[in-house]
């Protein structure tokens, strides 16, 4: 009996399944994202059925490349390269037989699950029947506690999936299911990690980077581009606003004494980012701040920064240590870019000893010396938009609706 193997990726999500009312919306995003992630690796067919998604790999020349892409799609709890068989004991045995051919394993167990009640065999019977089948073919033994190989069998009414190893996905929620945020992206280690953590919570992230060209070389912009390029692998399409900030900083330097400058810069950045966020329909701002990590990141200073914006400022790294953040940057693949030498716009004109407890009245008085509104307009209008796509050449995502512009398109500045 020779079964023809029919490979697929079987995809499990868990958080999504908890959100009963919103499930169709979450699944629509997850499906769309999987289709986009594999757009250049055809054929891949995304199929949805009870509690799972499947990527049909029939005829696909490169499942390994598909695997890599799937492993980055937010919202996936875990996934497995599985073989498909009809839901009869004979068909399942035939497929298991093919899968263990030539494989050596000192011990094994069968873990059968079935997703419907009417199946004629119980999972105990499947476990027994398949266990015996394996023992007849391979010199091995059953070990329920610490098996060298676990043979997972998931029985659905029309089809059964068989696989050995499950790989973890990123978890979280599918990008696009929680709305849009605007992330303040420096060239440093923290802000790309912060952006990614919001993607993992289902946000589509737009980026704003403040640079000081021509006062400083364009290195920071190149780093920002490289970081956005990397992060776009996880959300498939990104917008990056490059905001000239050198002129604005000069104004601040003329009017504000050194210790107060960092908070004043940050408040201006937040206001400009908010103006861009409003134009693109985003609901919140994101920074890479972590409490106490640097002298300027104290509770009073964070409060002063919050007061400059109406939109909520999300700080996903607020309670994390530098070590934890660095670890995540390495996993994400942004670390190497972030540590490239660079003169951040904030290293220009930055005081040695920034104030750690700026009071509301103090900061307001200093800002009276500036034309804040004009500076914000200057920043917003000077912003240059660049777009990034993944896979390369795949175009905007989600695809703009025909006939009318989507909210994001309407607000984009340089269109």
Residues engaged in binding ligand ATP (CB under 6 A): 184-186, 188-191, 208-210, 269, 287-289, 293-294, 296-297, 344-346
3-state secondary structure of 23: helix
The owner of tokens 């990141």 is: 297
Asked if 188 touches Mg ion (CB under 5 A), the answer is yes
**Which DSSP category does 97 fall into?**
H
Measure the CA–CA gap between 159 and 157, rounded to whole angstroms. 6
Distances from the Cα of 409 to the Cα of 119, 132, 390, 399, 402, angstroms: 50, 60, 18, 11, 12
Cα dihedral sign, 141-144-146-150? positive
For ligand ATP, give the closer residue by CB, 351 or 396.
351
191 binds, among Mg ion, ligand ATP, none (CB under 5 to 8 A by kind): ligand ATP
In the complex, which residue's CB is closest to ligand ATP? 188
Give me the least distance between CB of 298 and ligand ATP, in Å please: 11
Measure the CA–CA gap between 262 and 64, rounded to whole angstroms. 47
Q: Retrieve residue 24's tokens.
A: 């169709």
In the complex, which residue's CB is closest to Mg ion? 188
Using alpha carbons, select from 70, 61, 95, 99 the residue that is nearest to residue 11: 70
Choose one: 22-30, 102-110, 135-143, 186-194; the region binding Mg ion (CB under 5 A): 186-194
Measure the CA–CA gap between 340 and 329, rounded to whole angstroms. 13
Give me the least distance between CB of 40 and ligand ATP, in Å please: 31
How many amino acids of this chain bind Mg ion (CB under 5 A)? 2
285 binds, among ligand ATP, Mg ion, none (CB under 5 to 8 A by kind): none
For Mg ion, give the closer residue by CB, 175 or 185.
185
3-state secondary structure of 154: strand
Residue from 33, 186, 220, 287 in contact with Mg ion (CB under 5 A): 186
* Long-range contacts from 17-24, C-beta under 8 angstroms, 24+ separation: 17/51, 22/177
Asked if 220 touches Mg ion (CB under 5 A), the answer is no
Give me the least distance between CB of 388 and ligand ATP, in Å please: 16
408 binds, among ligand ATP, Mg ion, none (CB under 5 to 8 A by kind): none
Give me the least distance between CB of 19 and Mg ion, in Å please: 35
Give me the least distance between CB of 294 and ligand ATP, in Å please: 5
């Amino acid at each position: 009996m020779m079964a023809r193997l029919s490979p697929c990726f079987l995809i499990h999500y868990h958080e999504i399944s908890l959100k009963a009312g919103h499930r169709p919306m979450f699944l629509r995003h997850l499906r769309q994202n999987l289709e986009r992630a594999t757009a250049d690796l055809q054929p891949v067919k995304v199929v949805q059925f009870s509690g799972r998604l499947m990527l049909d790999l029939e005829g696909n020349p490169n499942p390994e490349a598909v695997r890599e892409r799937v492993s980055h799609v937010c919202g996936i709890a875990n996934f497995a390269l599985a073989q498909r068989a009809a839901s009869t004991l004979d068909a399942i045995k035939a497929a298991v037989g093919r899968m263990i051919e030539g494989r050596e394993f000192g011990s094994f167990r069968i873990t059968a699950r079935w997703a419907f009640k009417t199946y004629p065999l119980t999972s105990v019977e499947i476990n027994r029947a398949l266990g015996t089948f394996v023992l007849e073919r391979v010199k091995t033994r059953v070990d329920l506690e610490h098996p060298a190989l676990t043979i997972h069998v998931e029985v659905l009414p029309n089809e059964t999936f068989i696989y050995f190893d499950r790989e973890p996905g990123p978890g979280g929620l599918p990008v696009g299911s929680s709305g849009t945020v605007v992330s303040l992206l420096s060239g440093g280690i923290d802000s790309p990690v912060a952006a990614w953590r919001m993607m993992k919570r289902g946000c589509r992230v737009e980026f704003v980077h403040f640079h000081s060209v021509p006062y400083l070389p364009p290195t920071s912009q190149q780093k920002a581009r490289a970081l956005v390029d990397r992060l776009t692998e996880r959300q498939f399409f990104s917008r990056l606003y490059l905001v000239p900030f050198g002129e604005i900083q000069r104004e601040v330097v003329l009017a504000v004494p050194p210790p107060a400058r960092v908070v004043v810069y940050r408040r201006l950045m937040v206001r400009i980012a908010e103006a861009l966020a409003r134009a693109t329909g985003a609901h919140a701002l994101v920074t890479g701040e972590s409490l106490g990590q640097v002298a300027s990141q104290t509770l009073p200073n964070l409060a002063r920064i919050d007061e400059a914006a109406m939109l909520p400022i999300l700080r996903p790294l607020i309670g994390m240590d530098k070590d934890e953040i660095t670890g995540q940057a390495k996993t994400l693949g942004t670390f190497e870019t972030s540590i490239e030498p660079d003169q951040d716009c904030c290293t220009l004109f930055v005081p040695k000893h920034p104030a750690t407890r700026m009071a509301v009245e103090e900061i307001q008085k200093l800002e009276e010396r500036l034309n804040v509104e004009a500076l914000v307009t200057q920043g917003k209008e000077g912003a240059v938009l660049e777009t990034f796509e993944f896979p390369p050449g795949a175009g905007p995502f989600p695809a703009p609706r025909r006939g009318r512009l989507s909210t994001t398109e309407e607000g984009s500045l340089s269109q």
